[in-house]
Amino acid sequence: MILEPVSAPPLTYADILPPGAARSPEDHLLIAGCDTVELARSYGTPLYVYDENCLRKACGEFKTAFAKRYPETDIVYAGKAYMGVALLRLLAEQGLGLDVVSGGELAIAMAAGFPAERIFFHGNNKSRGELEEALTAGVGHIVIDNFLEIRLLEEIALARSLRQPALIRISPGVDPHTHVKTTTGITDTKFGFTLEGGQALEAVRQVLATPSIELAGFHFHLGSPVFSTTPYTEAIGVAAKFAGEVKDQYGFEGSRFSPGGGFAIRYTEEDEPPTIDEYAESITAALRADWAGRGLALPRLSVEPGRAIVGRAGVALYTVGAEKQVTGLRRYVSVDGGMTDNIRPALYDSRYVALLANRTGQNEQVVTIAGKFCESGDILIRDASIDDPVAGDVLAVPASGAYGLAMASNYNSATRPAVVFVRDGEARLVRRRETYDDLLSLEVAGTGEV
Ligand code: LLP
């Protein structure tokens, strides 16, 4: 008898999962050669699996796309998308910079040994303590967001006899047409100095008159995710006009410019984000043309991708549990995670796809994947097309690497998931699952008898 060679079944969502994901001959989902069903067994679920090569590939794509068009570019990872020591070490090795927005993010960066001079400290209400921590750490740039910050930074830098490099954040008044909760560059926003009414010009005047602050240039961030390159082009035009006014008025020309982050990724088959090359082309072409058009010297460029570095690399694994059929309406299938490890669907109506990790199945169904937390809004995917899930199946949600864990909470006293990095068939635990002891560890009232 001739045995048929065992061939692996085809993989769905191959261009949303990390590149190289596959199905094994026993029909399990493989990420970087690691069997996700085994990972779920070994580390429990919910589990966040990051493909290291996919992270490196994203860094490489950004570096190449910008370097070939505009060699004076720094790729600065926006840590808010996902922070962790292992990740930061990998990104530091890749030569990336880092955007932090809090003392907490800075502390993690320092613990990871991230080079402080490559750090940009953002935020619309940095405290005196945070600014002191930043200057103690020696961060490369503070991104000044408001007038109070100019005074605080002046005092702190003066006390240390420092001249602290800084960018000024402007709000260009350009709508990136993304979710209203993640739109930042419009005029009605809490971030940055408004151009209209001369607020941003006044900020420049004040900073230039402050010897303990060295103005390096300007920054804006439009929103996230931005599924088109047009808002960048438009806002760069606005920034160039402003930079021209600054030159005319104060004779100052910035040496650095940052159009922020916001680069979109694919979450579903309907999403068609621009490629990294397309973003790079639009940004660098606009920068060259608009700066030259106003007779300005070309600045060093920094771009701040968060989602586009970590989003595709991360796959969330859940175990399927209870289900409920609402006759004629909907089939709810619950998993062991939900809004505490991924609040994006509840907060922004974000869409994801899902597939079974432990089998392909033959019977595609439309089901609603629900989380396990006590809110009706705790729905991970409404109307997911998936092969008939049953209790015990392992469910994989691709494109979960950005703003899932980063926004995770202990709501319902949930213990936050473990994180595993995978590469060439090897897995390493980089963050353990939280325990009940972790939940109790901050209770200073003590535990035991009342
Ligand atoms: N730079 C600045 C100043 C930012 O505020 C942000 C994101 C980024 C860079 C990075 O944007 P990215 O490349 O990751 O799109 N929680 C929301 C996203 C909020 C983003 C806030 N700022 C979400 O889950 O979609």
Ranges of residues in the chain with a pLDDT under 70 are 1-6, 450
Q: Where are the alpha helices (DSSP H) in 214-320?
A: 230-250, 276-293, 307-310
| Ligand 1: centre distance to CA 385 (Å) | 29
Decide if 374 contacts 412 (C-beta within 8 A): yes
Q: Which residues pair with 370 in a beta bridge?
A: 334, 379
How confident is the model at residue 448, as a pLDDT?
Answer: 77
Backbone dihedral angles phi then psi of residue 297, each to the nearest 5 degrees: -70, 140
Amino acid code (one letter) for 287:
L
Q: Specify the residue with its C-alpha closest to ligand 1, atom 24.
A: 403
Q: Which atom of ligand 1 is nearest to the CA of 219?
A: 3
CB atoms within 10 A of CB 72: 14
Pocket test for ligand 1, best of 55, 59, 76, 80 (most atoms within 8 A of CB): 80
| Per annotation, catalytic residue among 34, 54, 59, 374 | 374
CA of 224 to the centre of ligand 1 (A): 5
Q: Which residues contact 69 (CB under 8 A, 6 or more apart)?
A: 280, 281, 284, 285
- Report which protein residue has its CA nearest ligand 1's atom 20: 224
How close is the Cα of 401 to the center of ligand 1, in Å?
13
Beta bridge partners of 206: none
Annotated catalytic residue 54:
no
Name residues contacting ligand 1 (CB within 6 A): 78, 80-81, 99, 122, 182, 221, 224-225, 260-263, 304-308, 344, 348, 402-403
Give the residue whose CA is nearest to atom 23 of ligand 1.
Answer: 403
Q: How does 102-136 read in b/e, with b if 16+ C-beta sit within 10 Å?
A: bbebbebbbebebebebbbbbbeebeeebbbbbbe
Nearest Cα to 150, choosing from 76, 65, 98, 215?
215
Q: Which atom of ligand 1 is nearest to the CA of 184?
A: 5
- How far does residue 222's CA lie from ligand 1's centre (Å)? 9
User: Residue 227 contacts by C-beta under 8 Å, 6 or more apart in sequence?
Assistant: 177, 178, 264, 271, 272, 273, 274
Q: Find the largest Cα–Cα distance for the chain.
A: 88
Q: Which pLDDT score, from 0 to 100, does residue 449 have?
A: 72
CA 223–ligand 1 middle distance (angstroms) = 7
Ligand 1, atom 9: nearest CA belongs to which residue? 261
**Ligand 1 atom at minimal distance to the Cα of residue 221:** 3
User: How distant, in Å, are the alpha carbons of 269, 311, 398, 412 from that of 401?
Assistant: 17, 4, 8, 23
User: Model's pTM, two decimal places?
Assistant: 0.96
CA distance 416 to 209: 47
What pLDDT does residue 228 have?
Answer: 96
